[in-house]
Structure 1
Amino acid sequence: MKFNITKYRIGLMLLLLTFTISSCKKYLDEKDNSNFVKTNYFQTASQAQTFVNGLYNQLHLFQNGDAYGEAPFITLELFAGHATSLGQSVNNSNVIHQRTDAVNPGFEDVWQNSYNAIANANLALERIPGVAMDDAAKKKFLGEVYFLRAFFYYHLVRLYGDVPLITKSVTIDSPDLYPTRTDYKQVYAQIISDLQAAETSGLPATDQTGRVSLGAVSTLLASVYLTTAGYPMQATANYALAAAEAQKVLTNYSLFDNYAYLHDNAHKNQGELVFQAQYLVGVSTNAITQLTVPFNLPVGAYGDHLGAMIPTNEFFASYEAGDLRTQERQFYFSSYPQYGDASKTVVFGEHCLYKFFHVESALGNGICDENWTFLRLPEAMLIYAEASNEVNGPTADAYAQVNKIRARALLPALSGLSKDQFRQAIWKERYHELAYEDKAYFDIQRTHMIYDVIHNNFGDALTTANEQGVTMKAQYLLWPIPQREMNTNKKLTQNTGW
């Protein structure tokens, strides 16, 4: 069985010349007029818009998946160690137990699809400036593209380390046809440059259609600065920059008063949701809920219930007593009315992710168009608190941001903590609030610490076993360069240990 997403098999040096239509809410239903020849395209503003729209669709690569649950958004969580997966997936099991290798198809999918998106972003940045169109609209389109190129490079550099940095379109005669790896510091410099360009491009402060906004730019840039302040770069001066960028976001968004709004259709791109991948029934759908409901239990109108990402009991138990997020049908659920006979209740025997449960498709026809959230307000709030704490220690403003998140969860406010205590309190809030949103593995990379949920503290990532008895190997701080890329491009070298 295969899901709806087509897996591209295109090397990083090739240019994709056929686009699918955009995935943003107001233009998801546009007719696809985007097949083109490079030499005669980019003649009109409409063509430029269609091309940029197509770039958004490539954000779907993180939800690419098959019947075994080997989707990148799941793989990232399995690396963090706080989730189990359906046993029939050999690759997922190998990731959990740290015995995978460079042939794992997930590593190749993320690499290829990210470079595919970057290739198209490079072409857009080269060709859109020459299109005769309104200057403000042109500048805005370019700002969106700069953000998207930075977004994909940000994932690549964190996952693979030194990666080829390509900022121009590639042809068969280009020197970058078979590129070498670029020092990660140069890649980060390009990411920051792209995001700074996006900040000055006239984007709106917020956007409820799914397009890039200044809020998305500032949140992503704050994340970049926070990451580069940690390992491996340890540019600690960037903590202050992270706090300054995150602060720009805090007053333009608001926390939902209902956790259900994080995953329903009515609140897409609103409230605290800063940037999402867009889905729409009839145009582009996904299997997010189908992959995260309990295995083989009838809790929705899905052909399969795959159980590919299930929180460990120990992680669920690590929340503080009384935390609203652990109450039934908040972030998690352990039972649900049986599909087709609501008078019966299906008891799971484990806690699954209600955070990703799409009621509309579960009670409807099983076709899911839930958006996937990349950035939301609580992340910006916690970046601000953590980064400002590193600069000034606990401040009233830093406490305020963390305590707003805790107040919504019905938890008491934090106070009176030392700098070190406050740091760890913020880290715990990141794990609990941003749970299973693909943040934990990146937190391990930048802090070299893991959340030991059994003892409710943080330990060295390479010496502390997780709740599944696995201690992270040093090589697992990065993904391997995909073996197919190594075979194709002899200039590439492999990451240590792979």
Structure 2
Amino acid sequence: MKNIKTHIKIVALLGVLLSTFSCSDEFLSPAPTAAVSGANFYTTEDQVFAGIINMYDGIQGVNDTRSDSNHGIQMEFYVTEMRSDNTRTKSGEGEASDFDFFRVQPENGLVADHYRSFYNVIFRANKVLESLDVVSSANKDKFEAEARFIRAYVYFNMVRLYGDIPLVDKVITPDDTDIQFTRVPTAQIYDFIINDFQFAIQHLDNSGSKNRGSKAAAQGLLAKVYLTTKEYTKAQLLLEEVMKGSYILEPNFSDVFYNENNKEVIFSIGFIQGLTQDSQNFSAEFLNGVGRTVGVNYVTNDAKTALDNLGGTRTAVSYRQDKLQLTQNQVAKYLPNGEDGGADGKTFTGLDPRLAGNDWIVLRYADILLMHVEAILAGGNETSVGAALASFQAVRNRAGLTTAVTKVTLEELLDERRVELAFENQRMFDLIRFGKAQEILSAFSIAIGGSFSSTDLLLPIPQNEIGLSRGKLTQNPGY
């Protein structure tokens, strides 16, 4: 079911490179404290290329439960989807449940893991960028573009989650506390992100793996940046460039997730089933009694109702009833390699679900089409522009909702994004970008007995990072 040829080539090449040059453990696992690590730079072009693969390895994260490992994208659902009205813990207990009820504190270890992991990816990108002198002129711009693409992608997520953050644009040492612990205004972070994405667009193409940066991925993510900064015309132009390409909506919604590297996916984080170093455990964590930290990212009743009413054919692919606890519902888009666990939801044929190989989709064509509608809407309450209607209708048609639309309202677009991209870590960002987070999450919090306030729109800066800075790194309001 899973096309892993590209992954195998990357892993094999990395193994060859590691066997042919001396490199410390720092190469694959840089010191986990934010963006600081050793200053040993790559000395050959092959090493720089291996460093590029190492960036994706950092996003992929380590499939273990150690508190000092970097778990990369495998932590993202906690700090995005579970902070919204889409998902929650099964039991309402433990540290993960703090996200359910809007009571996250700076000491939360899951937040610390996410923050540390992604600053570590920034370190890896910066290390590539500061080693480009050994790269041939034929590859130098492409290597730089790919590293800057990853750096921009990570910073875009970080600035939306934490607000003003340290802007680390070079490999730093423990002595560089001014860079490591000085929070930079959000507007400056966005300027930096835009500049990196623009360079990536100029020097990347769309001929490579979907598990690596590309021109279309940079265009699509930069368009989302522009929607966030309310530069709608710039976003529309970029999105229409992507729409001229060869990407499509897969006719079968299930194939988006279980026929990987399909024509709808623009950028995804690759995983390989069964290999501890290259698999993921979030597919198991979303289930009941299968993973190591089980019963997280369960579907809220609110999200279930939205999918039941608006999802069309997407609903059956998006969630399923827990086979052991019939009042509970599980995310179904990432069932381990497509297996549903048999009659008890726990029995997988020849597969340890804790070593699942499902790729994590960062950007796909349906998102491009819905962002296209958003760009044309341009902050207004509704649009009847033909191009917007066509993009909106295409997404709905694929879901079997073929009634012709004559206008699209802001609320309808937000609802459509919710059911199309359910459990793909988009909901919280969408609520904030659409200016609806305060209203919707306040009502949701009251209904579940939570304690939402406006300060919950940002995560806390991890207390351990503030401690390392000896107070130089300041905390977000409300924490």
TM-score (norm 2): 0.83
Q: 1:365 to 1:463 in 2, by over 3 A?
A: closer
Q: Who is 1:27 aligned against?
A: 10
CA displacement 1:466-490 (0-9 Å, x = unmatched): 5535463111010011101111112
Q: Who is 2:429 aligned against?
A: 442
Whether contact under 8 Å (2:319, 2:333) holds in the other structure is yes
Q: Who is 1:72 aligned against?
A: 76
Whether contact under 8 Å (1:273, 1:375) holds in the other structure is yes
Q: CA deviation at 1:215?
A: 1.1
Task: Report the RMSD for the aligned CA atoms in angstroms.
Answer: 2.8
CA displacement 1:438-493 (0-9 Å, x = unmatched): 1111122223314xxxxxxxx72464335535463111010011101111112111
Q: 1:465 to 1:478 in 2, by over 3 A?
A: same
Whether contact under 8 Å (1:72, 1:106) holds in the other structure is no
Larger % of helix: which? Answer: 2
Whether contact under 8 Å (2:118, 2:154) holds in the other structure is yes
Q: 1:193 to 1:219 in 2, by over 3 A?
A: same
Report sequence identity in percent: 26
Q: CA deviation at 1:36?
A: 2.9
Q: 1:424 to 1:414 in 2, by over 3 A?
A: farther
Q: Who is 2:201 aligned against?
A: 199
Give the SS at the match of 1:460. helix
Q: 1:320 to 1:194 in 2, by over 3 A?
A: same
Q: Who is 1:57 aligned against?
A: 57
Whether contact under 8 Å (2:162, 2:461) holds in the other structure is yes
CA displacement 1:394-429 (0-9 Å, x = unmatched): 311111111111001111345233xxx522211111
Query: 1: CA distance between counterparts of 2:402 and 2:234?
Result: 29
CA displacement 1:121-153 (0-9 Å, x = unmatched): 11211211x1142x2322111111010000111
Superposed counterparts of 1:139-150, under 5 Å = 139-150=141-152
Whether contact under 8 Å (1:52, 1:124) holds in the other structure is yes
Q: Who is 1:90 aligned against?
A: 94
Give the SS at the match of 2:131. helix
Q: Who is 2:454 aligned against?
A: 474
Q: Who is 1:224 aligned against?
A: 225
Q: Who is 2:472 aligned against?
A: 491
Query: 2: CA distance between counterparts of 1:307 and 1:391?
Result: 37
Q: 1:161 to 1:316 in 2, by over 3 A?
A: same
Give the SS at the match of 2:55. helix
Q: CA deviation at 1:75?
A: 3.5
Query: 2: CA distance between counterparts of 1:312 and 1:269?
Result: 29
Aligned to 1:270, which of 257, 262, 270? Answer: 262
Whether contact under 8 Å (1:316, 1:326) holds in the other structure is no
Whether contact under 8 Å (2:284, 2:336) holds in the other structure is no
Q: Which moved more, 1:460-469 or 1:157-166?
A: 460-469
Q: CA deviation at 1:354?
A: 1.7
Whether contact under 8 Å (2:90, 2:328) holds in the other structure is no
Whether contact under 8 Å (2:82, 2:88) holds in the other structure is yes
Unaligned runs of 5+ in 2: 25-37, 68-73, 340-347
Q: Who is 1:19 aligned against?
A: none
Query: 1: CA distance between counterparts of 2:6 and 2:175?
Result: 33
Structure 1 residue 113 and structure 2 residue 100: aligned? no
Q: 1:354 to 1:121 in 2, by over 3 A?
A: same
Aligned to 1:287, which of 281, 292, 310? Answer: 281
Query: 2: CA distance between counterparts of 1:170 and 1:381?
Result: 40
Give the SS at the match of 1:148. helix
Q: 1:449 to 1:51 in 2, by over 3 A?
A: same
**One-letter amino acid of the counterpart of residue 432, structure 2:** Q
**One-letter amino acid of the counterpart of residue 169, structure 1:** V
Q: Who is 1:131 aligned against?
A: 134
Aligned to 1:399, which of 381, 386, 389? Answer: 389
Give the SS at the match of 1:275. strand
Whether contact under 8 Å (2:151, 2:196) holds in the other structure is yes
Whether contact under 8 Å (1:462, 1:474) holds in the other structure is no
Query: 1: CA distance between counterparts of 2:62 and 2:402?
Result: 35
Q: 1:359 to 1:112 in 2, by over 3 A?
A: closer
**One-letter amino acid of the counterpart of residue 216, structure 1:** A
Give the SS at the match of 2:263. coil
Q: How many residues align?
A: 435
Whether contact under 8 Å (1:45, 1:131) holds in the other structure is yes
Query: 1: CA distance between counterparts of 2:93 and 2:393?
Result: 40
CA displacement 1:178-200 (0-9 Å, x = unmatched): 53110110000000000001111
**One-letter amino acid of the counterpart of residue 211, structure 2:** G
Whether contact under 8 Å (1:62, 1:110) holds in the other structure is no
Q: Who is 2:34 aligned against?
A: none
Q: Who is 1:387 aligned against?
A: 375
Q: Who is 1:36 aligned against?
A: 23
Give the SS at the match of 2:400. coil
